[in-house]
């Protein structure tokens, strides 16, 4: 490879994934090449590597925060389905740093995530 181009970088990314596959299996993680950039005619490229934990039992940050603040804000258990404005939402998280809209819920029809105020459970009903 003399200079980087789109195809060369993609091929290199696939090779990096292959080489790191054994390492990932030993540590229960997955490596995925997630793109990169280069300047035409340059000998320098930047690659983005995504590393994912394979343990499906791990709780997400949103779930941990939800469990931590559920009693304070009188929230139903994580994953509870609630109804608001004729739409069903699944309670999926809490962002304590978001003061106005800390509650995160997913629309059961569209899968889209929405933010709600901390007073949300006063107007929503559990299904």
Q: How do residues 28-76 score in pLDDT, each as one tens digit?
A: 889 998 888 887 767 888 889 999 888 766 678 889 999 999 999 999 9
**HSE on the CB side for 30, CA within 13 Å?**
8
Q: Judge whether 82 and 96 are in contact, CB under 8 Å.
A: no
- Examine residue 1 and state whether it is found in any structural domain, yes or no: no
Query: Are residues 30 and 67 both part of a single domain?
Result: no
In terms of residue numbers, what domain contains 82?
61-126
- Do 88 and 106 belong to one domain? yes
Picking from 94, 84, 74, the residue whose alpha carbon sits closest to that of residue 124 is: 84
- Please compute Rg for the chain using Cα positions: 21
Q: Do 76 and 47 fall into the same domain?
A: no
Lowest mean per-residue pLDDT among 3-7, 75-79, 111-115: 3-7
Quote the number of domains for the chain.
2
66 plus 121 within the same structural domain: yes
Q: Are residues 120 and 85 in the same domain?
A: yes
Q: In this predicted structure, which of 52-56, 89-93, 110-114 has the lowest mean pLDDT? A: 52-56
Question: Does one domain contain both 10 and 42?
Answer: yes
């Amino acid at each position: 490879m003399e200079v980087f181009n789109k195809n060369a970088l993609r091929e290199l990314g696939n090779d990096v994934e292959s080489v790191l596959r054994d390492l990932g299996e030993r540590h229960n993680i997955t490596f995925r090449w997630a793109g990169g950039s280069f300047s035409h005619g340059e000998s320098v490229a930047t690659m983005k590597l995504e590393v994912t934990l394979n343990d499906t039992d791990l709780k997400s940050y949103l779930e941990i925060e939800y469990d931590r603040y559920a009693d304070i804000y009188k929230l139903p258990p994580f994953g509870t389905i609630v109804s608001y404005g004729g739409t069903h939402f699944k309670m999926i998280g809490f962002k304590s740093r978001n003061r106005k809209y800390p509650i995160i819920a997913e629309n059961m029809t569209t899968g889209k995530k929405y933010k709600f105020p901390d007073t949300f459970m006063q107007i929503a009903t559990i299904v």
